[in-house]
Structures are given as C-alpha cells and as structure tokens.
Amino acid sequence: MTKIALLACLLLLSSCGNMVDDLNPSGDDLRPAITANSIGNQPSQIAADFSAPATNGTTFKLSNHLTGGATPADAVVLYFTMWCPICISHTDHLLFNIIPQFQGRGTTTYVLVDYVSGSIASTTVSEAVNGYAGAVFTTIADENQSLLHQFQGAMGKTIVIDKNGVIQMNEDFRTGDNLIKTLSRILP
C-alpha cells in the first residue's frame, strides 16, 4: 500500500511541472478599474450605508454622520481592531497624536470597529479592558463581520469617508501619515 501511495504522490507532483513561481512580477495592477461614485470599498467609491450596535447603547448608522444625517461630520474614520498589541498601539497613536492635530478643524467621527468579539457585550468588555471606554471613539461591534467583508477590512485597516459618503482612504494603518494627509485635505 505504501508503494502505491508513493507512486500516486509522484504522479501528482510530476503533473505540476508546468507550475513555476513568477519571481519577476510586472508590478501592474490587475484589479478591475474602479468607477468613481459607484458603490464599493475603494477610494473614489461611495461607501454603502451600514449600521452596527455601539457600546454607548446606540446603533451607529453611517448615513447619520454624512451630509443630511442626524449628526453630520466632515469625515468618518473607521479603524478595524482585534484588540491585539499592534491595534492598541495604533489606537493610542490615533488618540494621542493624530486626533489632537484636528481638534477645531471641522467634525470627525472616529469609530473603532471590533470585528472579533462577536457581540456587543464582548465588545464593551474589550473596549473597557483596553482603556477606551469614554474616549472620543465610538466603538461598534461587527457581530457577523459584515463590515469586515464590506470594506475588506482586517487588523489595522483604516477607512476615511468624507461627508458625502465618498471613500477617501482605505489602507492599513502603518504610521498614520496617510491618515493625517487625508484628513488635512478634507477637513476645513
């Protein structure tokens, strides 16, 4: 039986002979072109409306924070967190270094999107344990990871949506420099 399994493995491996790694990729962006003002998750596209439970007992609805909404803002910043040390470091950087730079410049809604806890109760505990309860953030629970999929989010993903619902930035946090540039461009 072992000889037959070995022979089968060799036959399978030999059929993969035409597969090679591309060690010199072109660098061309092969993604489909983005149509500005279409619904999507990339810069220049319109963010689809969503709602999610917030730890402050309300429901966060994106359209409420856009022009014509109940509490309009010039920008909405979504930061996807899984409460790991890297996320906490980025969130602290947002809280202590980036947000103060924009105080007095329009209105910005900062949202922590917890996509791992699975419930508003767990998100509330995570928010408190990590020291963000009562901070300037609205913390929401992405209970069934619909926002994770909508924005192709992951740990540290940062999305900036302007007052008209147009996505201005969708990328990993890195240093926060692009977030600063984006907010500097869109805030009055």
Q: How far apart are CA 126 and CA 119, in angstroms?
A: 11
* All structural domains of the chain: 47-186 (3.40.30.10)
pTM: predicted TM-score of the whole model, two decimal places: 0.83
pLDDT, position 46: 98
Q: How far apart are CA 109 and CA 77, in angstroms?
A: 6
User: Residue 60's closest CA among 14, 109, 25, 22?
Assistant: 109
Q: How far apart are CA 165 and CA 180, in angstroms?
A: 19
- Tell me the pLDDT of the chain averaged across its residues: 91
CB 152 within 8 A of CB 47: no
CB 122 within 8 A of CB 188: no
pLDDT, position 2: 73
pLDDT, position 36: 83
Q: Inform me whether the pLDDT recorded for 32 exceeds 90.
A: no
Q: Give the start-end residues of each E strand in 99-175.
A: 108-114, 138-141, 157-162, 167-172
